[in-house]
Structure 1
């Protein structure tokens, strides 16, 4: 099996996970490639290199890879999706961050999880993405014009609210007077959208959610729509420029830029171990069903 490993940071929480993973993969005699910058970070931090120097590195993935392992938090998983793009390479995450909705494997479960994956004891959860097009064209998103979690527009150099004129399949919906608007996938429904009052949507649902950020028109509420809907938004306000974000990637757009958002033509494959499920993750991460009053 040809395995790619990606991480963005190397801190105290990640040290144990990195050593457990790399030691175990070396023992399994797998074909391991580490992302080049992450490999450099590891070499700087680890005094005992053991046999890690025998691992190869990569800058760009191709279809010859069978698996991408992400080491970090959910942000690192989102970044991993930009490496995989439309290559159909399954992704699994080892959580060295905080919440871990996407990266769910904890240090104590790494060896068992890797063994299960190498033996094929897992299932695939296919996750929808969003694609974006702007008029005038935004150069920042020409190569990475998709998002796994959400696309959001928000105010930039102002404390004043903005107006987000929104159309669905060409029909005018409303103008949100707010700090911004989030368009989230089911995967992203447990992220930024959730913190702004949006609903949790199961990953296998063919839906998107529009969640206003601190709306001034208080009757504005999150709206769930089918993921075949084409969404068109245009931002107005006192300033000339506003922020637009695709997951963790941020750019500036000009006033009156028309932004068209729709479901991307490909999906990201995420590995779920057989003993895990989205419902189980909800209970663990959001503490559903637990009474903490006492």
Structure 2
């Protein structure tokens, strides 16, 4: 159980109404301090939990801003697949939180080492073109396994299997499974299939020199990171840091598949 003494709140849109006074009143009655996390300001170092009040984008932003801190995501957005409940359940969610009636879901994350530095991702890392065919040589543990030609390549996590990877036709994977998922994006190959890798795998993506796109885009969790030129390599591995999300139902994943994705 978490020691809840200081909770940060990350809001989807500051112009949207949020019941912050009610939240603060409940936490005050349990001796829990509350801090609103503002854009451009470093979060306090002593946070025990971050409440992300928005959709999946807000949850991913919270995990990026506070990679060492568990996140409780409450849906004030649209789909909200990563969220633990909707805004209508807020009072019940907070009462169960302070009572310690919750579970922690721990998930694999990625680290992408590129020529400009390193970026961490919870869902996926992608290299993709804007409008031309890209050739990407794929190496696993220094062994070349294939060349993917298409709009690009995506390497994701089980958490990301219900994000972009879902639209790419990759399998849905329970989020606590430890693995990596490799797939092409609009691959120019009828026989292409997703590949499941061990979490210890080191994946190197080399942008082939036959690529005619002068600048290939690198993104992480939907954020544009940098552009890559043909001939450039990057490496993606499992991060030593995991993402931790708070839920209140052991079957939350299947509930969300049904309620959010009509599975």
| Shared fold, TM over 0.5 | yes
Give the match for residue 33 of structure 2: 31
Give the match for residue 150 of structure 1: 124
- Matched residue SS, 1:101: coil
Structure 1: state its 5+ residue gaps. Answer: 39-57, 289-294
Alpha-carbon distance in structure 1 between the residues aligned to 2:249 and 2:168 = 32
Alpha-carbon distance in structure 2 between the residues aligned to 1:121 and 1:234 = 46
> Cα deviation per residue 1:172-203 (whole Å; 9 max; x = unaligned)?
11111110111010000100010111110001
Alpha-carbon distance in structure 2 between the residues aligned to 1:130 and 1:275 = 25
Alpha-carbon distance in structure 2 between the residues aligned to 1:254 and 1:79 = 28
Residues 146, 244 of structure 1: alpha-carbon distance in 2 compared, 3 angstrom cutoff: same
Q: Does 1:7 align with 2:11?
A: yes
Give the match for residue 108 of structure 2: 128
**Offset of 1:84 from its aligned partner?**
1.2
Structure 2: state its 5+ residue gaps. Answer: none
Give the match for residue 286 of structure 1: 261
In the TM superposition, structure 1's runs of 4+ consecutive aligned residues that sit over 4 Å from their partners are none
Alpha-carbon distance in structure 1 between the residues aligned to 2:146 and 2:38 = 46
- Matched residue SS, 1:285: helix
- Does structure 1 conserve the Cα–Cα contact (< 8 Å) formed by 2:108 and 2:179? no
> Cα deviation per residue 1:39-74 (whole Å; 9 max; x = unaligned)?
xxxxxxxxxxxxxxxxxxx62242x21110001110
- Does structure 1 conserve the Cα–Cα contact (< 8 Å) formed by 2:12 and 2:76? no
Give the match for residue 70 of structure 2: 90
Larger helix percent? 1
- Matched residue SS, 1:284: helix
Q: Note the aligned Cα RMSD (angstroms).
A: 1.7
> Cα deviation per residue 1:215-274 (whole Å; 9 max; x = unaligned)?
111211111111111100111310221101111321212221111000001111110113
Given the two structures, how large is their TM-score scaled by the length of structure 2?
A: 0.91
Residues 209, 37 of structure 1: alpha-carbon distance in 2 compared, 3 angstrom cutoff: closer
Q: Greater shift after overlay, 188-197 or 270-279?
A: 270-279
Q: Does 1:73 align with 2:62?
A: no
Please list, as runs of the form range in 1=range in 2, the aligned pairs for 1:238-257 lying within 5 A after superposition. 238-250=212-224, 251-257=226-232
